[in-house]
Structure 1
């Protein structure tokens, strides 16, 4: 599965980074950096992450 980030919804607070730091990093400017696009992610508090199963 591939992660799709809705950058307009991402709040940059870093919950995803704290849970899966191998996959996510929040930059100093609050933008989300994906280290790996293929991952099994179920939820995001801001609903900024979705999965593309194709």
Structure 2
């Protein structure tokens, strides 16, 4: 059994590049100013690879994934 994963955005570090929303549109939208908003913090098993890719691509390291409850 795998543990649940969740996404977090550091809103202070984020500069609104939008790469996360391009790489993970299933879980991330952009607001009217181009900053990410999470549709759902819980990362389904089938999206874990995409979530890791989005976290790694963030130029400001503002997107994180962690274990535990969303």
Distance 1:20 1:4 in 2: 13
Which 4+ residue blocks in structure 1 deviate beyond 6 angstroms?
none
Distance 1:48 1:18 in 2: 15
Query: RMSD value over aligned CA atoms?
Result: 1.4
Q: Would the aligned equivalents of 2:18 and 2:35 in 1 still touch at CA under 8 Å?
A: no
Pairing partner for 1:9 from 6, 13, 17? 13
Residue correspondences, number? 54
Distance 2:29 2:14 in 1: 12
Unaligned runs of 5+ in 2: none
Unaligned runs of 5+ in 1: none
Q: Point out the structure with max Rg over C-alpha.
A: 2
Offset of residue 31 of structure 1 = 2.5
